Amino acid sequence: MATEGEPTDLIKVLHLLTLSFTWGMQVWVSFIGGFVLVRQVTRHTFGLVQSKLFPVYFYCLLGSNFVSLAVYAVYHPRELLDWHESVQMAMFFLALIMAGLNGQWFGPTATEVMFLMRKVEEEHGLGNQVGLGSQKEGYTTLREQDPKYKAYRSMFGRYHALSSLCNLIGFICTTTNLIYTALNLSTI
């Protein structure tokens, strides 16, 4: 492993805790919290909760990915990197970019469009049912009859998909980096 000095035990712990925090948060938000919540509250409540949680989530990811990249970069000078370390550095950087894209563009845009959709849904008595699968006919009819709503749904779908893709890429990067770090615990 290429190093610019040996990291202290405190730095090693900080690095591992930051990676663990990032990974745990990604698992909870991506695979547990949303799936549980969507089945327990109304559609509009779900959207409201997500609109409050996602900015915090994206910026926590951004901060923790920055710390991970910074710590790794300090102890792995570019000139001394081997192929595996270069890949790991790239994954730290990619996770940082994905969190930034979600925090700055995809997340806020999806939320903005979601609120526009919500307004139209409320005008048609939709959105107060629990679960995303209920009242499918009402949403289908609204999409067919209201071109503005149809455009909002399409735009929301695009931004939500881009946000989900960024989140998945960031999760894969974090998982891979955490595995690599676990396999090399004597170093960072």
Question: Does residue 188 fall inside a structural domain?
Answer: no
How many independent structural domains does the chain possess?
1
- Give residue 48's domain range: 9-183
Q: Which of 101, 107, 131 minimizes the C-alpha distance to 55? A: 107
CA distances 26 to 22, 58, 112, 173, 182, Å, are 6, 10, 23, 11, 18
Please write the tens of the pLDDT for every residue from 63-76: 999 999 999 999 88
Question: Does residue 119 fall inside a structural domain?
Answer: yes
Would you say 132 and 38 are in contact if contact means Cβ atoms under 8 Å apart?
yes
123: number of Cβ within 10 Å: 12
Please write the tens of the pLDDT for every residue from 13-56: 999 999 999 999 999 999 999 999 999 999 999 999 999 999 99
Question: Does residue 89 fall inside a structural domain?
Answer: yes
CA distances 88 to 14, 15, 81, 96, 105, Å, are 17, 14, 10, 12, 25
**Which pLDDT does position 188 carry in this prediction?**
62
What confidence tier does 81 reach under pLDDT thresholds 50, 70, 90? confident
Question: Does residue 33 fall inside a structural domain?
Answer: yes
Q: Any idea how long the chain is? A: 188
CA distances 112 to 53, 94, 107, Å, are 14, 25, 9
pTM: 0.90
Cβ neighbours for 87, distance < 8 A, ≥ 6 positions apart: none
Please write the tens of the pLDDT for every residue from 163-188: 999 999 999 999 999 999 988 877 66
Q: Which of 114, 108, 84 minimizes the C-alpha distance to 166? A: 108
Q: Which two tokens stand for residue 4?
A: 């610019």
**Which pLDDT does position 131 carry in this prediction?**
77
Question: Does residue 123 fall inside a structural domain?
Answer: yes
Question: Does residue 56 fall inside a structural domain?
Answer: yes
Question: Does residue 3 fall inside a structural domain?
Answer: no
Q: What percent of the chain has pLDDT over 70?
A: 96
Question: Does residue 36 fall inside a structural domain?
Answer: yes
